[in-house]
Chain A
Amino acid sequence: MLQRIIFTITLFLSFNFVSQAQSKADVMKFRGVFEVHNHPDSYEYAKNAKNEVQVVFSGLFLFYKYFISSQDRASCVFHPSCSVYALQKIQKNGVAEGALATFDRFCRCNAFSAKNYETYQGTQLLYDPVE
Chain B
Amino acid sequence: MTVNPNARKLLFILFFNISFIIVAAQSLSQVLQVANQQYNAGNYSMALKEYQRYLFFDSNAAPEVYDHIGSCFQNLNQFDKAAEYYDKAFFTYSSNELKSKALFNKVECMVYMRDFGLALAEILSISDTITGDVYYKKEFLLGICYFGMDDFDNAKISFVNCIASCDQIKRQKIEKIFNRKRNFYSPNPKTASTLSMCFPGLGQFYSGDIRNGLNSVLLTSGLALLGVRIALNQTVYDAFFTVMPWIQRYYQGGYIRTETIATQKRASNRSKAYEETLNLIAESKN
Question: Residue B243 at the A interface, CB < 8 A?
Answer: no
Contact A36 B97 (CB under 8 A): no
User: Which of A14, A20, A26, A72 contacts B253 (CB under 8 A)?
Assistant: A72
Contact B281 A27 (CB under 8 A): yes
Contact B96 A14 (CB under 8 A): yes
Within B112-146, which residues are at the interface with A (CB < 8 Å)? 112, 114, 127, 129-134, 136-137, 140, 144
Binding site for B on A (CB under 8 A): 11-12, 14-18, 20-24, 26-28, 30-31, 33-36, 38, 67-68, 70-73, 75
Contact B148 A33 (CB under 8 A): yes
| Residue of A11, A17, A34, A73 with most chain B CB atoms under a 10 A cut-off | A34
Contact A18 B134 (CB under 8 A): yes
A10 to chain B, nearest CB (A): 9
Contact B252 A73 (CB under 8 A): yes
A31 to B282, CA, bound (A): 11
A residues in contact with B191, CB < 8 Å:
none
Question: Residue B95 at the A interface, CB < 8 A?
Answer: yes
Question: Residue B45 at the A interface, CB < 8 A?
Answer: no
Contact B249 A72 (CB under 8 A): yes
A28 to chain B, nearest CB (A): 5
Question: Residue B205 at the A interface, CB < 8 A?
Answer: no
User: Which of B101, B129, B144, B147 contacts A18 (CB under 8 A)?
Assistant: B101
A38 to B270, CA, bound (A): 14
Within B244-273, which residues are at the interface with A (CB < 8 Å)? 249-250, 252-254, 256-257, 264, 267-268, 270-271
A67 to chain B, nearest CB (A): 6
Of chain B, the residue at the smallest CB distance from A18 is: B97
Question: Residue B219 at the A interface, CB < 8 A?
Answer: yes
Given A28-B282, A36-B271, A38-B264: A20 touches B256 (CB 8 Å cut-off): no
